[in-house]
């Protein structure tokens, strides 16, 4: 696969040839990114649609679903999705090196590790209300959210299977099937949510049942696809080899988890912090709606994250550092300049129209309206960040970016946000401004990392990683890349 994608950028001698190769690489990225974006947007929409319908049931119900989706489920999602993302590095580089028989082994190792991790996470779901109350969340919201979270335990176990399967399929560019399965799940989820939550007026119990059913459908459909031998040599059945090298696999999984969790939880922390402000119920509802929109757009960025991680890992696995570097140039320019600006403008243009879709409360609608310009700027700024993370995943830099995220987000952004929001009485806007500062610093830091990368060295490291994790293929010469 990688050899077919390789770009000999030594042949690029002028602007015309650069534009030709830029267009060629863009097509490859969009081929991977569009179905990945659809899959992620559809998946996120499953939970977000539940939140939309809950807003038409009542304010407490909206807040309960928002807290469960963004705090409790978001916490678990970040951990399990992050740990599953270790497969992006390993599977992508294995495909590039033509070691596809290792993909099924890697996926099974990820299942084993995530199954162990999910057991303590279940206790968080069971004890959601006692956990939320000490965080000074509204008692009514904490009680309703805790009850709803308890119903969502089946969703938690579905994550264990779904996330490694998606990375397994993604590394082989089998993303269309993922998008198709998720589209069917989303369509059914919308119909049944409307029917049971609003038409039959069964409220949150129906929301939990329908939401669980959607995730379980995705899990079963993906497994049926894999077990039907549609993936060729990438899946050769269950193997004892999956239990080998688990300690080293766990270390890479933990690095991936920390990197992605720190990113995914950062703005979700706004919902938790908003519970400390005046009129907590209104603040939580308005913030959750804004974060809902932000997360929808971030799914587009994560789609490019998936595409660039596949491209970079494939090219490094095939020892094509020039091609890997060119992929990074194309992806960052495409996402930061084009997609970010467009997505950032959409909520601003629809500023007065979209809040009523989420809630009937005029107070919540007005606060969302006031926060929308800040939301639009945040969306634009965050367009580049997931792509840079995809570069890190494709190259295996997870642990380095994790340290950057800790410092920039949690030692810079959140403290400044709390200072502006509470000490200077700027409220939610002040908190958000502070967190944006942390976001800017983090983005600059990762850009510097990418600019200073020695891609020849990264190709050699990829070869060593493949040898460590599953045996080396025939040695291949590493093409040099100019600085």
Instruction: Write out pLDDT tens, residues 407-440.
Output: 999 999 999 999 998 889 888 888 889 989 998 9
Q: In the chain, how many domains are there?
A: 1
- Has residue 171 been placed in a domain? yes
Look at residue 8 and tell me if it is in a domain: no
pLDDT at 210 over 60: yes
- pLDDT of amino acid 472: 43
pLDDT value for 334? 66
Name the most confidently modeled range: 101-105, 155-159, 458-462: 155-159
d(CA 382, CA 385): 5
Which pLDDT value is given to residue 348? 93
Write out the residue range of the structural domain in which residue 165 sits: 13-470
The listed range with the strongest mean pLDDT (34-43, 211-220, 371-380) is 211-220
Residue 5 lies in a domain: no
Q: Is the pLDDT reported for residue 185 higher than 50? A: yes
Measured distance CA(49)–CA(284) in Å, rounded: 17
This prediction's pTM: 0.76
Alpha-carbon distance of 402 to 60, in angstroms, equals: 36
The model's confidence at residue 191, banded by pLDDT at 50, 70 and 90, is very high
pLDDT at position 77 over 80: yes
Query: How far is residue 34 from each of residues 162, 168, 338, 418, 478, measured CA to CA in Å?
Result: 19, 17, 15, 37, 31
In a domain, 221, yes or no: yes
Q: Does residue 479 lie within any of the structural domains?
A: no
| DSSP type of residue 289 | H
Contact between 384 and 331 under an 8 Å Cβ cutoff? The reply is no
Give the confidence band of 13 by pLDDT, cuts at 50, 70, 90: low
Confidence of residue 52 (pLDDT cuts 50, 70, 90): confident
Is residue 111, in this structure, part of any structural domain at all? yes
Of 306, 185, 173, nearest to 231 (Cα)?
Answer: 173
The full length of the chain comes to 483
pLDDT-derived band at 398, boundaries 50, 70, 90:
confident
Q: Is residue 481 part of a domain?
A: no
In a domain, 63, yes or no: yes
To the nearest whole number, what is the mean pLDDT of the chain? 83
Q: Does the pLDDT value for residue 446 go beyond 70?
A: yes
């Amino acid at each position: 696969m990688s050899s077919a994608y390789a770009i000999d950028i030594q042949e690029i001698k002028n602007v015309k040839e650069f534009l030709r190769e830029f267009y060629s690489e863009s097509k490859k990225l969009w081929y991977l990114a569009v179905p990945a974006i659809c899959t992620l947007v559809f998946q996120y929409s499953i939970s977000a649609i539940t939140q939309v319908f809950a807003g038409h049931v009542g304010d407490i119900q909206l807040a309960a679903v928002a807290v469960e989706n963004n705090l409790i489920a978001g916490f678990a999602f970040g951990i399990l999705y992050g740990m599953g993302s270790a497969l992006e590095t390993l599977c992508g580089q294995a495909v590039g090196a033509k070691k596809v028989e290792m993909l099924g082994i890697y996926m099974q190792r990820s299942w084993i590790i995530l199954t162990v991790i999910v057991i303590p996470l279940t206790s968080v779901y069971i004890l959601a209300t006692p956990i939320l109350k000490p965080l000074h969340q509204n008692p009514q919201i904490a009680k309703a959210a805790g009850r709803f979270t308890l119903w969502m335990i089946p969703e938690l176990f579905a994550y264990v299977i779904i996330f490694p399967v998606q990375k397994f399929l993604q590394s082989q560019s089998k993303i269309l099937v993922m998008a198709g399965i998720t589209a069917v799940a989303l369509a059914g989820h919308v119909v049944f949510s409307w029917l049971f939550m609003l038409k039959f007026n069964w409220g949150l119990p129906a929301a939990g049942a329908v939401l669980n059913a959607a995730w379980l459908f995705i899990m079963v459909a993906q497994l049926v696809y894999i077990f039907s031998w549609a993936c060729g040599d990438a899946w050769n059945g269950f193997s004892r080899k999956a239990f080998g090298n688990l300690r080293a696999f766990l270390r890479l999984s933990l690095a991936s988890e920390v990197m992605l969790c720190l990113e995914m939880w950062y703005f979700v922390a706004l919902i938790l912090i908003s519970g400390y402000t005046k009129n907590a119920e209104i603040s939580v509802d308005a913030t959750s709606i804004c974060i809902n929109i932000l997360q929808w757009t971030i799914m587009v960025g994560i789609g490019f994250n998936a595409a660039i991680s596949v491209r970079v890992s494939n090219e490094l696995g095939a020892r094509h550092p020039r091609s890997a570097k060119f992929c990074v140039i194309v992806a960052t320019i495409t996402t930061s300049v084009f997609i970010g600006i467009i997505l950032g403008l959409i909520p601003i243009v629809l500023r007065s129209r979209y809040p009523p879709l989420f809630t009937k409360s005029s107070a919540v609608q007005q606060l969302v309206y006031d926060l929308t310009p800040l939301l639009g700027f945040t969306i634009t700024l965050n367009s580049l960040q997931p792509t840079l993370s995809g570069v890190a995943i494709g190259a295996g830099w997870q642990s380095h970016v994790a340290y950057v995220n800790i410092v920039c987000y949690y030692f810079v952004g959140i403290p400044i946000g709390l200072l502006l929001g509470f000490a200077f009485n700027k409220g939610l806007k002040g908190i958000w401004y502070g967190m944006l500062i942390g976001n800017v610093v983090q983005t600059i830091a990762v850009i510097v990392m990418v600019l200073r990368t020695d891609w020849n060295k990264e190709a050699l490291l990829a070869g060593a990683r493949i040898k460590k994790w599953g045996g080396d293929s025939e040695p291949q010469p590493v093409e040099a890349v100019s600085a």
